[in-house]
Amino acid sequence: MTINGEQKILQKISTLNQLYLKMLEFTLEETTEIDVEISKLDNNYFVENPSFFSEYKRLFSNDSLHKLKNELNNLGDIIDSHQTNLCNNHEWIDDTIDIDCEKSMCITYCTKCETSKKHN
């Protein structure tokens, strides 16, 4: 089976999404470990030097990381759906559609998936 351009692009997007999810899992594990290590310190370094630490907490909060993880999982489901429904081999036809009562327009689209073809 030959892979068409759409399939290649969807595969790249899927790969990026999966890599990002793996990186996010690692980040969640590390931030949890950092929080535990901070709680075990015998000093107040992170309390007394909040400038960088508050920015770290803002960027790497559990809530924001889990929200991003959910969004990436949803994107993965959408990508999977598109990959499943994508044509392997478009069957292009030319057709004329009415724009209004006096105007029409020529279009080219796939009879299988109804994707329209770009006209240059």
Task: Tell me the per-residue pLDDT of 3-43, one tens digit each, with 9 for 90 and over.
Answer: 678 888 999 999 999 999 999 999 999 999 999 999 999 99
| Residues 33-61, mean pLDDT to the nearest whole number | 90
Instruction: Specify the pLDDT at position 120.
Output: 63
Instruction: Specify the pLDDT at position 3.
Output: 63
Beta bridge partners of 97: 105
Whether residue 85 is predicted with pLDDT greater than 70 in this model: the reply is: yes
Instruction: Please tell me whether residue 120 adopts helix, strand or coil conformation.
Output: coil
Closest CA to 18 of 66, 77, 91, 58: 77
- Contact (Cβ atoms closer than 8 angstroms) between residue 114 and residue 97: no
| 42 and 79 share one domain | yes
**Which amino acid, residue 117?**
K
Q: Label residue 113 left, alpha or beta by phi (over 0 means left) and psi (-120 to 50 means alpha).
A: alpha
2 pLDDT tier (thresholds 50, 70, 90) = low
Residue 51 to residue 81: CA distance in whole angstroms: 44
| 79 and 97 share one domain | no
| 63 and 34 share one domain | yes
What is the helix (H) or strand (E) element at residue 19, kind and residue range?
Answer: helix 5-40
Eight-class DSSP state of 88? S
- Contact (Cβ atoms closer than 8 angstroms) between residue 63 and residue 4: no
Instruction: Specify the pLDDT at position 32.
Output: 94
| 62 and 109 share one domain | no
| 64 and 17 share one domain | yes
What is the helix (H) or strand (E) element at residue 89, kind and residue range?
Answer: none
| 35 and 61 share one domain | yes
| 101 and 81 share one domain | no
| Residues 109-120, mean pLDDT to the nearest whole number | 80
Closest CA to 10 of 73, 69, 89, 76: 76
Instruction: Specify the pLDDT at position 83.
Output: 79
| 24 and 72 share one domain | yes
Whether residue 54 is predicted with pLDDT greater than 60 in this model: the reply is: yes
Instruction: Specify the pLDDT at position 72.
Output: 96
| 118 and 62 share one domain | no
| 79 and 101 share one domain | no
Q: Domain tally for the chain?
A: 2
100 pLDDT tier (thresholds 50, 70, 90) = confident
| 14 and 43 share one domain | yes
Instruction: Specify the pLDDT at position 47.
Output: 84
Q: 73: domain range? A: 5-85
